[in-house]
Chains A and B, each alone.
Chain A
Amino acid sequence: MATRAMLRAFSKPTFPCRTSQYLSLASVSRSASTLVLAEHEAGSIRAPSVSAVVAANVLSKDNSISVLLGGSGPSLQEAATHAASCHPSVSQVLVADSDKFTHPLAEPWAKLVHLVQQRGDYSHIIAPSGSFGKNILPRAAALLDVSPITDVIEIAESDLFVRPIYAGNALCTVRYTGANPCMLTIRSTSFPVPPTLADSKSKEAPISQVDLSTFGEGNSRYINQTSQDTERPDLGNARIVITGGRGLKSAENFKMIEKLAEKLGAAVGATRAAVDAGFVPNDLQVGQTGKIVAPELYMAFGVSGAIQHLAGMRDSKVIVAVNKDADAPIFQVADYGLVGDLFEVIPELLEKVPERK
């Protein structure tokens, strides 16, 4: 380790913002430099990526945080500007401007992470554990010959992490003992972005371009994407989530869930059974293999509460369950349970719940 620190101390620092770390060797071993892989959309950084910056801050107080963005065109530049001011602790934004990154393909992205790591020698690399991070980060970790850690929910020390295993039925504390970088995907609901952050535009980090002159061709191509256009809030970040299960019986009936969600300003979720039965598209699935949510209020209608579903919502602040089976396992995690026919309960709720503010 000592040799490594020496080498780092004598190598020419690529990024000026990291020079402060070379002032004393003692601080080199304690401080962290983190690369955050960020996703952007319509000219701004997606909320889970800002959560990854929040997590980077938990790693170490004197962390030098670089945000890496890829893409092309004006929306990339807009997103870079947003990234530079999205969190006061961001010290640099790195932009990989190439049409190779227009769509987040794993092959060029993993190569990009490898390249940026070789130039920046980061102690940590973090991505949010959505489909973007889970697709790219392990591939990049293999190129760097290190073990990544998935879905971290707590950072105890800069090398000590807690993550759920067995569908959240056990929590595993792992220590990373390998070489740099330590690579993590973080569960964004565990690292909420403080609401005050939106107004603090005081500090702006420098933006620099990644030199891509050595970048080769890939062996995969993007064809297209079908996404659900919806007015409702994003499932991952919604304050209220209303979920329907098999008990809804049909796609037609599921519309009641959507109406209730609209009235409460909530996002709509579903169980695997509801997705498999074709009531709603797959990206609404909540659970071990779908989305993980932790809203203030989670209302489950006609959901039995299988282990795999609970894995996706058990950290919600308040859980409400409506089911006609009084023995349904969902009642064991519900703060408020109502045993009754959802076809009577939902219309009554629609009539009586207050309109969203």
Chain B
Amino acid sequence: MKIMVAVKRVVDYAVKIRVKPDKTGVETHNVKMSMNPFCEIALEEALRIKESGLASEVVAVSMGPAQCVDTLRTGLAMGADRGIHVEATGALYPLSVAKLLKALVEVENPGLLILGKQAIDDDCNQTGQMVAGLLGWPQGTFASKVVLDKENQVATVDREVDGGLETLSLDLPAVITTDLRLNQPRYATLPNIMKAKSKVIKKLTPQELKVEIRSDLEVVQVTEPPKRKAGVIVSSVDELIDKLKNEAHVI
């Protein structure tokens, strides 16, 4: 079985972002970019499945501008076998990404598609569900544990839901999106980074995949959230209780 993993290049999670003065978006020029943390977890899970002998190949795919190749290269250094880059400029919303993924799935025929549960830039939490819907595959979102049964062609997935954990059984092929607690992604070692340079990254365009990139969303403006007014430092528990009682009236 082949596993396909979708990875996204985003502003590094530790960066304090800046909104552009013209309100058209967030400054990404000269800002550290990395693989989306949830995508790292997705890739790690695929690699573990392969290492346990349940998958034969891990293909990492990414959509977006030329620099996505760097993100794919990181994925290859972690251990993915090869990469596919769908080069697309301009805004790509989850619906388009899901359609591109569906087209890639039809070419590659993976038995499992793993994605992160959300990208930390747009915070959409949509792509995995949408591609599952387009493919008619079952979905196991917000996964914190994945167990594959190759013989019966099912995946048992523990999901992080509002009230606790939920366990589902999915017929393969299926789409899984990863939550934070699924695993601890590995670091790429230097020899693997060197090896990754000779791995193949295939380049495709949306036209070649016969996917029309259109959008039914328009970003009107991006602004900074309202600032909270400065607080005070109190010196004792008594003062704190007094403030909460008599100033804020919350206890």
Contact = CB atoms under 8 A, between A and B. Distances in A.
Interface of A: 103, 105-107, 110, 130-132, 134-143, 145-151, 160, 163-179, 218-228, 236, 240, 264, 272, 275-276, 281-283, 288-289, 291, 296-297, 307-308, 314, 317-320, 326, 331, 333-339, 345, 348-349, 352-354
11 contacts: A106-B141, A137-B129, A138-B124, A174-B218, A221-B168, A222-B166, A225-B161, A282-B160, A289-B180, A308-B13, A334-B231
Nearest to A148: B126
Contacts, number: 256
Given A151-B123, A166-B121, A331-B231, A223 B167 contact: yes
Given A107-B139, A138-B126, A177-B218, A354 B167 contact: no
Nearest to A344: B237
Chain B facing A: main interface SS: mixed
Contacts of A177: 215-218
B129 A106 contact: yes
B146 interface: no
Contacts of B241: 349, 352-353
Top 6 nearest A-B pairs (CB, nearest first) are A178-B216, A142-B133, A227-B164, A220-B138, A138-B129, A142-B130
Interface size class of B (residues with CB under 8 A): 35 or more
Contact of A348 (B165, B237, B248): B237
A76 B64 CA distance: 45
B220 interface: yes
A139 B164 contact: no
Contacts of B180: 272, 289
Contacts of A140: 133
Interface string B165-200: 111111100100001110000000000000000000
A219 B231 contact: no
Q: Which of A142, A172, A317 has the most CB of B within 10 A?
A: A142
Nearest to B165: A226
Nearest to B238: A352
Interface stretch (B47-55, B73-81, B91-99, B201-209): B91-99
Interface in B48-105: 93-95, 98
Nearest to A130: B162
The residue in A166, A276, A308 that gathers the most chain B C-beta atoms within 10 A of its C-beta is: A166
A142 B120 contact: no
B123 A167 contact: yes
Interface string B93-137: 111001000000000000000000110111111110111111001
A170 B225 contact: yes
A337 B219 contact: no
Nearest to A132: B162
Nearest to B137: A219
Contacts of A276: 181
B121 A141 contact: no
B95 A345 contact: no
Interface string B212-236: 0001111111111100100111111
Contacts of B95: 141-142, 145-147
Nearest to A156: B220
B4 interface: no
A333 B232 CA distance: 10
A320 B125 contact: no
A288 B164 CA distance: 17
A336 B162 contact: no
Contacts of A337: 231-234
Nearest to B229: A335
A222 B14 CA distance: 37
Contact of B243 (A107, A143, A336, A348): A336
A272 B13 CA distance: 14
A170 B181 contact: no
Given A150-B123, A220-B139, A171 B237 contact: no
A141 B179 CA distance: 22
Given A219-B171, A337-B232, A307 B129 contact: no
Contacts of B11: 166
B16 interface: yes
Contacts of A275: 181
A142 B134 contact: yes
Contacts of B139: 106-107, 135, 139, 220
A170 B16 contact: no
B222 A173 contact: yes
Contacts of B138: 106-107, 218-220
B223 A220 contact: no
Nearest to A146: B216
Contacts of B159: 131
Nearest to A348: B237
Nearest to B177: A135
A345 B125 CA distance: 39
Given A175-B220, A225-B166, A275-B181, 15 more contacts: A131-B160, A142-B131, A147-B216, A147-B217, A160-B220, A166-B11, A220-B139, A222-B166, A307-B14, A334-B231, A336-B243, A336-B248, A338-B236, A338-B240, A353-B251
B130 A139 contact: yes
Nearest to A335: B231
Contacts of B218: 174-175, 177
Contact of B251 (A131, A146, A224, A354): A354
B83 to A, nearest CB: 25
Contacts of A136: 129
Contact of A139 (B133, B223, B225, B237): B133
